[in-house]
Amino acid sequence: MEFVDESSIEKHREKIRHSTAHIMADVVTKIYPKTKLAIGPPTKDGFYYDFQVETPITDESLEKIETEMIKVMKQDLKFEYTEYSRSEILDMHKDEPFKLDVIKDIAEDVPISTYKHGDFEDLCGGPHVESTGMIPAFKLLSVAGAYWRGKEDQPMLQRIYGTAFESNEALDEHLKKIEEANRRDHRNLAKQLDLFSYQDELGPGLIIWHPKGSKLRSTIEDFWKKEHIRYNYDLIYTPHIGKSTLWETSGHLDFYKENMYPVMDLDGQEYYLKPMNCPFHIMYYRNDIRSYRDLPIRIGELGSVYRNERAGVLHGLLRVRGMTQDDAHIFCRPDQIEDEINKVLDLTFHLMKTFGFENFEIMLSTKPEKSVGEIARWDLAIESLKNTLISRGLTYQIDEGGGAFYGPKIDINIEDAIGRLWQCTTVQFDFNLPERFGLNYIGEDGNAHQPYMIHRALLGSLERFIGVLTEHYGGAFPLWLSPIQVSIIPIADRHIDYANNLASKLGASEFRVDVNTKKERMNAKIRSAQMSKIPYMLIIGDKEVESNNISIRHRSGEDLGVMPFDDLLNKLHLDRDLLK
RNA sequence: GCCCGCAUAGCUCAGUGGUAGAGCGCGUUCUUGGUAAGAACGAGGUCAGCAGUUCAACUCUGCUUGUGGGCUCCA
């Protein structure tokens, strides 16, 4: 079978996957007779089917289910389409509560159909492949829990995930992609590269940054600060706790309390650990009378915040309880909004491209039903966001009603080396806090006006960003980010002095250098540097000492030859500073 | 928070109702070597924690904690 374009292969896969889900449901209902069926749609990468079963389905059961599915496929049963009247359908499904729920949502005048193969008939609009024999390649992947209709107050169902493809080759390719993603998992790489850890005794979602991870992080922080100063931000520092009155004014105690750590009592005053930086930046803004001439004011901080994330959502660096946001709040006049958004986007793309991200997906979220702030402000803000995106020629999707209650926002997802999207950047208007804190500036007319407030985090949080960055590079960071940039490998002990001397000369140019003086053979030292993904290895033996040269090897395996120190330094500078 | 797994040495993992194993790493000794692992010896574990069943629990049961895959939520 050949496919002329992407969309036709996608449609074909949908049919295969949907059909595979039916076959799986067929088998599951036979192995677990009291199963109630929920829904089983195709997804971007495969399919799933949700069941309510009496005994939990385990990973071991998957094999059995697969085996039975293959039998059904071998029988090559036709998928037969039938339309029913509403009363027939309701009667057929009287013992299937979830199906009844689905039927309720189907409009009265629409015909209701099923697809049947063998003796298994499932409520379904199709389409399907012609028969069960037309599933070229499939695999069941995992079992998971899932709420009915994705709502927490609904029953918890058992979900089986699987995937199916038009050929074994395509399936293999997909499985390899999953493997590749696992190979890049930042949690494993963090152990291998000794970047960070989290430990039982500490508490979940709290990160200990090891020296190498800290080096990576501070390199990012230094770069971030330098660029923010260049883009005319004022960087400040604020405390980690604040009095309850602050959080009452900000509204966090009303709307965000369940995410905040419990109250601390001190001298009869209540304090809270901060879940966000905004109120502190506002404290700075409000510390002085502001003129329209002062605006825009851009206040930035690498602000550490603590949030009581629900235990089940924690995940490595990507979801933690203590994190540092690359936060900033911009206070500006209405006529400055568009320019400010433009500048934020300039800075975002500049940072992201420097970190090696080239492709982005942009979401614009508009006013939800429940919201604060005048309509005119919402309209102006949304228009400004749109105009800026359009004038830059950026394509974006609109999430209608997806904004926060306090303002519209742009989220930017970055695409990593293996095509996955990660949400890092968020640019949000806030009509709530300026109102609550009574922020103002004195306008040209001598009257007080409320400033626009834009909240933005570009990397998101350093934790998440470093997690993403680690997976993007598979741990092989570019030179400027590598915790150790150069490993010097003396072949024998008599070369150590030369190696140390070389290390201090490179150190003088601010390269991060390690001299491997272990009692190992050169090959073992190379291997060790290789496993640590150190970009450059400098081999020092008799030949180098005699000729006053250095032998260079790159972690790619390439032998870069022998050169004098000045050439080496130029080469490293070029890689670190110009190719960055 | 909810569903289902998992928890054995610093790391990756075997293992049995009758008081614990490998590889890597670490230490010592020998070896001083040319681009991905030189060799020998040695140290290292209340088998996550607490309770229960049992003559006997690392192994079975329950709870707790942590963690993995998801759901929900989110930087």
Q: Which of residues 491-510 of A touch strand B (CB under 7 A)?
A: 491-494
**Topology of the domain comprising A6-183:** Threonyl-tRNA Synthetase; Chain A, domain 2 (3.30.980)
pLDDT at residue A5, as a whole number? 58
Residue A41 contacts strand B, CB under 7 A: no
Distance between CA atoms of residues A471 and A424, nearest Å: 14
Kindly tell me the sign of the dihedral angle through the C-alpha atoms of A311, A316, A319, A320.
positive
pLDDT of A459-501, one tens digit each?
999 999 999 999 999 999 999 999 999 999 999 999 999 999 9
pTM of the model: 0.93
User: How far apart are the C-alpha atoms of A380 and A12, rounded to whole Å?
Assistant: 44
Q: Is the CB of A150 under 7 A from strand B?
A: yes
The closest of A205, A410, A451, A212 to A315, measured between CA atoms, is A205
A528-553 confidence digits (pLDDT tens):
999 999 999 999 999 999 999 999 99
Residues written for chain A: 580
Q: Is the pLDDT of residue A32 over 90?
A: no
> What is the pLDDT, as a whole number, of residue A277?
96
**Fold (topology level) of A486-579:** Rossmann fold (3.40.50)
Question: Omega into A239 within 30° of 0, i.e. cis?
Answer: no
Give CA–CA dist A423/A299, Å, rounded: 23
What integer pLDDT is reported at residue A189 of this predicted model? 95
* pLDDT tens readout for residues A306-363: 999 998 899 999 999 999 999 999 999 999 999 999 999 999 999 999 999 999 999 9
Q: Where are the domains of chain A?
A: 6-183, 206-236+275-473, 239-273, 486-579
Is A486 within 7 A of strand B by CB distance? no
CA of A312 to C1' of B3 (A): 11
Amino acid at A340: E
Q: Give per-residue pLDDT as tens, A209-250.
A: 999 999 999 999 999 999 999 999 999 999 999 999 999 999
A65 CB-side CA count, 13 A: 29
**Does nucleic acid strand B have an atom less than 7 angstroms from the CB of A142?**
yes
Q: Is the pLDDT of residue A517 over 70?
A: yes
Confidence of residue A6 (pLDDT cuts 50, 70, 90): low
Smallest Cα–Cα separation from A477: which of A350, A356, A571?
Answer: A356
Q: Which CATH number fits domain A206-236+275-473: 3.30.930.10, 3.40.50.10680, 3.40.1400.10, 3.40.50.1980?
A: 3.30.930.10
Q: How far is the CA of A188 from the C1' of B13 (A)?
A: 15
Nucleotide nearest to A185 (CA to C1'): B68
Which chain B positions come under 7 Å from a protein C-beta?
1-5, 11-12, 25-26, 29-38, 65-75
List, for residues A91-101, the tens digit of each pLDDT value: 888 888 898 88
Q: What is the pLDDT of residue A539?
A: 96
A205 touches strand B (CB under 7 A): yes
Do you find a cis peptide bond into A262, omega within 30 degrees of 0?
no
Quote the CA–CA distance of A314 and A323 in Å, as a whole number.
12
Q: Is the C-beta of residue A315 closer than 7 Å to nucleic acid chain B?
A: yes
Chain A residues 453 to 472 whose Cβ lies within 7 Å of strand B are 457, 460-461, 463-464
